Amino acid sequence: MPDLVGQEIDRITPQLIALRHELHQIPEVGLDLPNTARRIRSEIDSLGLEVVKAKSSTGYMAILHGQAGDGPLVLLRADMDGLPIKEATKLPWASKNGNMHACGHDLHMAGLVGAMRALAHVRERLAGSVIFMFQPGEEAYHGADKMIAEGLLEAAGRIPDHAYACHVWAGRYPAKTIFSRPAGAMASSDNLYVTIRGRGGHGSAPHETHDPIMACAQILSEIQVTVAREFDAFDPVVVTCGQIHAGSTENVIPNEAKMDFTMRSVDPKTRIRLQARIQELIHSLAKANNVEAKCVLDPITPVTFNDAAEYQFVANTLAVKFKERWLPQSHAMAASEDFAYVLEKIPGCFIGVSAVPEGTDEHKVQFNHSAKANFADYAVADTAKILAELAWARLQP
Ligand SMILES: [Zn+2]
Ligand SMILES: [Zn+2]
């Protein structure tokens, strides 16, 4: 059979790129993206799809019912938000409003619109349905889990059977490659806020005090020992103290010190173990130093975890479609991703798409979240094809 969705995406690619450039000029930050949402809504409405709007954000669930009988329900997702960064790319379609689509979510939206249009074009050949999730607030605003908490995964009447999303990357991966891996694709992210309470006093008489700064110093170094000696090097974890505050002058031992940590892991079980072990270590070192520790754990994002069977399906499908451009990914990325919340509820797969301009060294260009990150337009059609082909393959009668 001819590649109907691929051909349709080839036909509409100039329009998808124009849409990407348009969205790129109006990036909005957070959960409320009125202009972006209006533009996406017009695309959904032009296809006459059923749509459910989120209450917690300007997110949408659009639903396409196939006309070739019953079958699975497939969720495809794009995130919509930009970052509060002043763009420095000098591209003709650079941002005009002081924010920037520096993580490529403009390409994700244009790609999902492309998949939506191509699948709508072949709806009489689809057995089953597709739900298109347009999600604001991916950049640490919990946009996905807020939509899930509203019950929107069931916008089409039940929980979907499969879920797929792509992410474009401006560097690190060779131009035009497409990749994924089974199990952890992106790391979990948890914050840990630690307060050490001791007994302050004169800097000349530390024996009369319980020094919270000395406790902090031990905690900081022992955490790195624990990470290196108690966790498998092939199941990596990262613990970073990004903020530490104590004291006011050189000759006074303060009463209190505060430390803020970020913790990353790429396996859900390891994440639980890491959360517990680091807190246990802090409490035992505090005890040894005659100080008190209070730990407040703030779980931010789960591991973006690709189901083994889903990964195999994606690898088989994309290897046929993209040939040598498809690559198994050697290791997870330490950044985290909101799609993790969807993958906690629905088996699925998160797929990486290089957007490095052709002929460019992927290690010499700026990466995502840089004011100079430059995502090549070709990745719009790639994203559209990946998402559409996966849904197409799942919905064959
Ligand atoms: Zn980002
Ligand atoms: Zn992103």
Distance 344 CA to ligand 2 centre (A): 18
- Return the residue matching tokens 């050189």: 250
Which part of the chain has CATH 3.40.630.10? 4-185+303-395
Return the pLDDT at 2: 78
Please tell me the predicted confidence (pLDDT) of residue 366. Answer: 97
Greater pLDDT, 187 or 140: 187
Strand partners, 351: 166
For 105, half-sphere exposure in the C-beta direction (CA atoms, 13 angstrom radius) is 31
CA 89 to ligand 2 centroid distance, Å: 18
Alpha-carbon distance of 242 to 240, in angstroms, equals 6
Neighbours of 92 (CB within 10 A): 7
State the distance from the centre of ligand 1 to the C-alpha of 250, rounded, in angstroms. 40
Q: Is position 105 annotated in a ligand binding site?
A: yes
pLDDT at position 165, please? 98
Q: Is 46 exposed, middle or buried (0-12, 13-18, 19+ CB in 10 A)?
A: exposed
CA distance 238 to 202: 36
Q: What is the mean pLDDT of residues 153-163?
A: 98
DSSP line for 2-47:
--HHHHHHHHHHHHHHHHHHHHHTS---SS--HHHHHHHHHHHHHT
Q: pLDDT tens, 357-375?
A: 999 999 999 999 999 999 9
Ligand nearest to the CA of 140: 1
So what's the pLDDT on residue 117? Answer: 98
- What's the rounded Cα separation, in Å, for the pair 147 and 169? 25
Residue 1 pLDDT > 90 = no
**Which one of the ligands is nearest to 80 CA?**
2
Contact present, 155 and 60 (Cβ < 8 Å): no
Q: What is the average per-residue pLDDT within 68-83?
A: 98
CB distance 100 to 366 below 8 Å = no
**Among all ligands shown, which has an atom nearest to the Cα of 83?**
1
Share of the chain above pLDDT 70, in %: 100
54 CA to middle of ligand 2, Å?
20
**Cα of 291 to ligand 2 centre, how many Å?**
41
Q: For the chain, what percent of residues have pLDDT higher than 90?
A: 99
**In the structure, what pLDDT confidence band is assigned to residue 122 with cuts at 50, 70 and 90?**
very high
Q: Which band of pLDDT confidence, cut at 50, 70 and 90, is reported for residue 78?
A: very high
- The yes-or-no verdict on residue 259 having pLDDT over 80 is yes
Model pTM score: 0.93
Residue 278 has a pLDDT of 98
Burial category of 34 from C-beta neighbours within 10 Å (exposed 0-12, middle 13-18, buried 19 and up): exposed
Region of 60 on the Ramachandran plot (φ > 0 left; ψ -120 to 50 alpha; else beta): beta
Ligand nearest to the CA of 135: 2
Is 324 exposed, middle or buried, given 0-12, 13-18 or 19+ CB atoms closer than 10 A?
A: exposed
310 labeled part of a ligand binding site: no
Nearest ligand to residue 78 Cα: 2
Backbone angles phi, psi at 392, to 5 degrees: -55, -45
Beta bridge partners of 353: 168, 178
- Give me the chain's average pLDDT, please: 97
Is 167 labeled as ligand-binding?
A: yes
H/E element, 267:
none
How do residues 244-255 score in pLDDT, each as one tens digit?
A: 999 999 999 999
> Sign of torsion, CA 371 373 378 381?
negative
Q: Which ligand is nearest to the CA of 353?
A: 2
8 Å CB contact between 5 and 118: yes
- Please tell me the distance between residue 31's alpha carbon and the centre of ligand 1 in angstroms: 14
Q: Using alpha carbons only, how large is the chain's radius of gyration in Å?
A: 24
65 annotated ligand binder = no
The amino acid occupying position 397 is P
CA–centroid distance, residue 105 to ligand 2 (Å): 6
Ligand 1 centre to CA of 311 (Å) is 23
What is the Å distance from ligand 2's center to 6 Cα?
25
In the chain, residues under CATH classification 3.30.70.360 are 188-301
Does residue 337 have a pLDDT over 80? yes
Residue 90, amino acid: K
**How many angstroms is it from 4 CA to the middle of ligand 2?**
29
If pLDDT is split at 50, 70 and 90, which confidence band does 334 have?
Answer: confident
- Distance spanning both ends of the chain, measured CA to CA: 14
Rounded average pLDDT over 327-351 = 95
Q: List C-alpha distances in Å: 309 to 73, 94, 266, 328.
A: 17, 40, 18, 14
| CA–centroid distance, residue 369 to ligand 1 (Å) | 6
Question: 221 φ, ψ to 5°?
Answer: -75, -35
CATH entry, 188-301, from 3.30.70.360, 3.30.1330.60, 1.20.1090.10, 2.40.110.10: 3.30.70.360
Taking residues 247-271, what's their average pLDDT? Answer: 97
In this structure, how many other beta carbons lie within 10 angstroms of the beta carbon of residue 25? 17
Cβ 337 vs Cβ 186: under 8 Å: yes
Is 24 flagged in the annotation as binding? no
Topology (CATH level 3) of domain 4-185+303-395: Aminopeptidase (3.40.630)
State residue 140's pLDDT score: 87
Kindly indicate the confidence band of residue 14, based on its pLDDT and cuts at 50, 70 and 90: very high
Model pLDDT, residue 215? 98
pLDDT band at 288 (very low <50, low <70, confident <90, very high): very high
* Residue 350 Cα to ligand 1 middle (Å): 14
